[in-house]
Structure 1
Amino acid sequence: MMNAGTQATAEPYLHFVVGGEHYAAPTARVAGVVPEASLEPVKDAPAHVRGVLVQEGEAVPVVDLSRLLGQALRSQRARPTVVLAQVRCCGEPLRLGLAVDGVGAPLELSERDMVPAPSFGAAMPVDFLVGMGRHGEGLVLLMDVERVLSETQLHSAIQLASPGSPKSHGV
């Protein structure tokens, strides 16, 4: 008979890099990865909205995690790697793109591999960090993709990406 208290079930995570820092998000919240994504700029968008990715007829807003984290852009690549995250806004499921520097090999993390997120002080927004995971000899920051943007910011990004916005996205 198995004792639930002694079994540590590993969950799959997508591992990615932003500004030299290693992050991971549960693969259950990831809809895909688009390497060298072609983004369309959005006029008058906030600095953290990198543009729009048109995929399968849908305009997906793409957030630049480097800018959101207050980092200087490490990579000014015209075609970034985009992680497509499954999030909810106003109760509706949708996709949000996260521009990252690169994606690593998938990780398997169990509860015993995780520790609470440290306090970074006011210098870095960390509401979306839910902990850290031990990976090899290092650590990855665990991200809750639902909390990367506030609901207001997310709603605004979705509005900017919609075909009815002042900027047409070719959808």
Structure 2
Amino acid sequence: MSAAEITVASTQYLTFRLGDETFALDVAEVREILDFTTVTKVPRTPPFMRGVINLRGSVVSVMDLRLKFGMSATEQTVNSCIIVVELELEGDQVVIGVLADAVQEVIDLEPEQIEPAPKIGTRLNMEFLVGMGKHNGSFMMILDLDKIFQGADLNIDKAA
């Protein structure tokens, strides 16, 4: 078995819903899942940054992926939650909360179940997708959080 074959083992993904679409995150990035709670708005931040929450004494920024992806804002329902994730931002590990309409399940995907992100001309930026996962006859978009939230997006000091 070559070194390349060793590194392509199955990976676990947390699946969640935004509207009618299913998305997935590598479980290694997920720290915990919280009930939707009161989010304190922070002035002069991008619209997709809904605010901050108190997570056991730490301030955690909460991002709305629906707004980031051009959808309507996430509404609080019985199923909505905050997925607390850890990502790398300009060399630092950063903890943020990501709003989801509903968390579904943790699944295993083999490398052959993941297709490359679609190439749709040059006008649409699909860099934030690791690929499209196939599971039980349907597709899900596997997200690369590090690419979704680039440094400029989260730099509050420069937000005007």
- State the Cα RMSD in Å: 2.5
Structure 1 residue 44: Cα displacement: 2.6
Correspondence 1:5-154 to 2 at 5 A: 5=5, 9-73=9-73, 75-77=74-76, 80-120=80-120, 125-154=125-154
* SS in structure 1 at match of 2:31: strand
Which amino acid counterpart does residue 42 of structure 1 have in structure 2?
V
Which amino acid counterpart does residue 67 of structure 1 have in structure 2?
L
| Distance verdict in 2 for CA 1:147–1:126, change over 3 Å | same
Structure 1 residue 56: Cα displacement: 1.9
Which amino acid counterpart does residue 55 of structure 1 have in structure 2?
L
Which amino acid counterpart does residue 108 of structure 1 have in structure 2?
D
Q: Taking every aligned residue pair, what percent have the same amino acid on both sides?
A: 24
- For this pair of structures, how many residues does the alignment match? 155
Using the TM superposition, name which of 41-50 and 122-131 deviates more: 122-131
Structure 1 residue 17: Cα displacement: 0.7
| Distance verdict in 2 for CA 1:13–1:47, change over 3 Å | same
Distance in structure 1 (CA, Å) of the matches to 2:11 and 2:90:
28
Structure 1 residue 6: Cα displacement: 9.6
**Are the counterparts in 2 of residues 8 and 112 from structure 1 also a CA contact under 8 Å?**
no
| Distance verdict in 2 for CA 1:61–1:76, change over 3 Å | same
Structure 1 residue 8: Cα displacement: 6.3
Structure with the higher fraction of residues in strand conformation: 2
Unaligned runs of 5+ in 1: 161-171
Task: Provide Cα deviations, 1:75-100, integer angstroms capped at 9, x if missing partner.
Answer: 42178411111112232212011111
* SS in structure 2 at match of 1:147: helix
Unaligned runs of 5+ in 2: none
- Using the size of structure 1 for normalisation, the TM-score is 0.80
| Distance verdict in 2 for CA 1:78–1:50, change over 3 Å | farther
* SS in structure 2 at match of 1:61: strand
* SS in structure 2 at match of 1:104: strand
Structure 1 residue 140: Cα displacement: 0.6
Distance in structure 2 (CA, Å) of the matches to 1:85 and 1:17:
16
